[in-house]
Amino acid sequence: MAQADGFEGFRQCLLRGAKQAVLSRNPPWAEALAQMLQDGTDLNEMLDRLRPLLRGDELGEWQPLLETADRCRDCLRAVHTAVRLFHNVPPDEYLAACGVSVGEWTHYHMGKWTIEMHALLERVDQLVKQTCRIFLKRGDSSWQATQDSLLTEVRKMRHKLGGTRRRPGMRVRHAHGLGYFDAIEDEKLWEFHVVAFPDVDLVEWGLAQAVQFRERWGKQIVIMTANALREVDGTFDRLTTELSWQPLPSQASA
């Protein structure tokens, strides 16, 4: 049985499977590559000489899996970056030089985290579905139920961030600027604004609210990030366990 060690362990399994597929589907290219590596051939020369030997079908079904896995990695980096930037507001002089307030910094990076976390969960959903269709569908009539079971918790988190048309979640609220205006409506400020304070900038008021709630938001995204990444790793652990009983695509199609 394959060792289960989260998303990165699953990605390494994909890389090993893809390597096996390329080696088995194009032995002449693999032998020429091994010889050039042994001879210390210049990289550009190696690429120029070996590219014509590739037919373009060596990776086959592995290529979309590798591409989606790397999109997951890109989203993971973006989530971690957003968390770091949210919690590390630059000095006042830097913000002033950029023409950015603490409220704008806070609101921007909160929104960035929300969008990237939602994108990560979408990519995880996509990668699990692609993998199940390639590995499980051919020999398991219950593959769809297995897929849905693997994705239950990830989809709950994704739904919480995305929401619905009637009840937009965090991603929609930040992506479309609804956060400001929901708060203005909740606080019943529109009437005061149009009658008594038309010169008050309600967007600036919203940014001030972002500063006020900054500490709470910061704790929230740290907890939600930890929970989401734990569930993502758990999902790929369970998927790796399922796949350990299946032939590799390169073996099944050989």
Q: Domain spans of the chain?
A: 63-252
pLDDT category, 28, cuts 50, 70, 90? very high
Least confident of 15-19, 111-115, 185-189: 185-189
If pLDDT is split at 50, 70 and 90, which confidence band does 196 have? confident
Q: What is the pLDDT of residues 45-66, one digit of tens each?
A: 999 999 999 999 999 999 999 9
Residue recorded with tokens 């507001």:
89
- Identity of the amino acid at 53: L
Look at residue 251 and tell me whether its pLDDT is greater than 50.
no
Confidence of residue 136 (pLDDT cuts 50, 70, 90): confident
Query: Rounded to two decimals, what is the model's pTM?
Result: 0.82
78: which 2 tokens?
């973006």
CA-CA distance, 3 to 20, in Å (whole number)? 18
